[in-house]
Each structure stands twice: as C-alpha cells, then as structure tokens.
Amino acid sequence: MRDIPTSRIRSAAQGYVELEGIGGLLDGPAIVCPLTGTHCLWWKYSVHRRVRSGKRNTWRKVRSGTSDDLFFLDDGTGRCIIDPEGAQVIPTHSHSWYGSTPQPERGPRAGSVFFSGEYRYREELIQAGGPLYAVGDFRTMRTHVEVDIETAARDLLAEWKKDQPKLLERFDVNRDAQIDAREWEAARRVAHIQVRREQSLNPPEALSGLHVMSRSVGRPYLLSGINQQKLTRRLNWKAGSSFLGFLAAGSLLLWLLHTHGVL
C-alpha cells in the first residue's frame, strides 16, 4: 500500500493500480445479503450450529456464502467496475450474534451477542455510498472505441474522395494521376491518425472506455470498505502486535529451554 501511489481512474495506467473513492451500485437488481436482507455492495455470511459432545461444545458450519456481484468505485474522475471474485475483502461492518433457528429471526442489533443460542451467525458487509479502497488489476475495455474510430476514418476518407485534386496532391506520390493500392493504404493510415488525434483532444464521453478492476495474477487483490488512512493504521497495529507476540513467544521458549538445562 505504501509503495503504490493512488491513481485516478481517468488517467490510470493499465495494470496493477490502487484506487480510492466511493462505492456504488450498478443498474439492475439490488445486492442483498441472504442472512438479514441488508442492501449493500458486498456481503459474506456463515451459520454454525452448536454440537455437544460430552462436556465439550463445538461449532459445525451449516451454510455460508460470499457475494460475487459487480459494483463500481467512483473517484470523481470516472467509474471503475469492481469484480470482487478472488479478492481479500476488509468489510465496513462485521457482526456475530446467536439465536435458536437456522435462519436468524433477529438482526445483529436485536440478537444475542452472548453464547446463548444453538446457532451462531456471522455477517460481513461493505455498504453502498461509503468509502471504497481497491488494489488490483485495472483494465480499460476499448473494443467499441476501435469500431467507432474505424467508422470515423471511413467517413473521413469518403470526404477526401469528394475532392479528387486535393486527394491526388496529398497522396499521389508517383504523380501518375491516380491513387494506387499502396497510396490508398497510406491515406487510410493518415485518416486513422487524424481521427485518433481529434478524439484525444476532444474525447467523446461515450468513447471513454469501460474500466474494470479484477484479481491480479501473482499479486494481492484487496478491497476495503475502510478508507486508506484508517486501513493503514489498522494493518500497522496488527503487524506491530504480531511482531511483539513473536518476540514474547521467542523469549518464553528461550526461558523454558534455559530452565530445563537445554541451553
């Protein structure tokens, strides 16, 4: 996260990038968590049932699920569609509670948070309209743009053909008063270059491309409903705690080995 600068969608390079903005829903059916019916961008849930074996209690998974619906990230310069499949997701909210039925009769706020039910429920959500942070493989789909460039280039060539003297002046290299196949190919390339230059100076909104972020091969794919600043603090704290735990465990091991005469 520290090594990758945050990109803007409008100018982001193709490949592995970091984006930050606001999460939103695409047109179509709402994304709803099956456990509580909560509307959101992304969800993950699990239901476990208490299994008693003698004096011990264990939890056995009854069912679980993870959302794979698409949504978008908007950073003010554009929108990028997010495909959450394969991502490590840090949710906006995470709740655990207990009840007496396979499908919870109450949500996490009304349900018991103590070990007082036969079933244990867990739900993780990323809310719509809140902060969204993403690191993954960024691609812009431009197939429809290429088709429109080809059409525009053909129209431009048709306009040039209406003025034959000017066309010959520009592209009749051998001055034989006609445009042969090689000269016509040169004219076609010039038309494409001119169309692309005009579109780069005045890009039509409809031709801006479809931006998509998805899993990156060989590199972490991270989605977070927590903004980058808070997420960095949280991960720093976890890293520090893990390191201190490692030192404490190592010190304890050395002490035990020393007291037992191993060292």
According to the model, what pLDDT value does residue 16 have? 95
According to the model, what pLDDT value does residue 52 have? 84
- Confidence grade of residue 240 (pLDDT, cut at 50, 70, 90): low
Average pLDDT over residues 203-222: 79
Nearest residue to 40 (alpha-carbon basis) of 132, 103, 104, 119: 132
Does the pLDDT at position 83 exceed 50?
Answer: yes
Q: What percent of the chain has pLDDT over 70?
A: 81
Dump pLDDT digits (tens) for 105-146. Answer: 888 875 555 667 899 999 999 999 999 999 999 999 865 555
Instruction: Indicate whether this model's pTM tops 0.85.
Output: no
According to the model, what pLDDT value does residue 206 have? 46
Say which residue, 87 or 193, is predicted with more confidence.
Answer: 87
According to the model, what pLDDT value does residue 181 have? 87
Average pLDDT over residues 223-238: 74
- DSSP codes joined into one string, the chain: --SSPBPPGGGPPSEEEEEEEEEEPPSSSPPB-TTT--B-SEEEEEEEEEEEETTEEEEEEEEEEE----EEEE-SS-EEEE--TT-EEE-SEEEEEEESSSS-SS-TTTSB-SS-SSEEEEEEEE-TTSEEEEEEEEEEE-HHHHHHHHHHHHHHHHHHHHSHHHHHHHH-TT-SSS--HHHHHHHHHHHHHHHHHHHHHS--GGGS-EEEEEPPTTS--EEESS-HHHHHHHHHHHHHHHHHHHHHHHHHHHHHHHHTT--
According to the model, what pLDDT value does residue 207 have? 47
Dump pLDDT digits (tens) for 13-70. Answer: 999 999 999 999 998 889 999 999 999 999 999 999 999 877 788 899 999 999 999 9
Query: Which of 139-143, 185-189, 228-232 reaches the highest mean pLDDT?
Result: 185-189
Average pLDDT of the chain is 84
Does the pLDDT at position 222 exceed 80?
Answer: yes
Does the pLDDT at position 208 exceed 90?
Answer: no
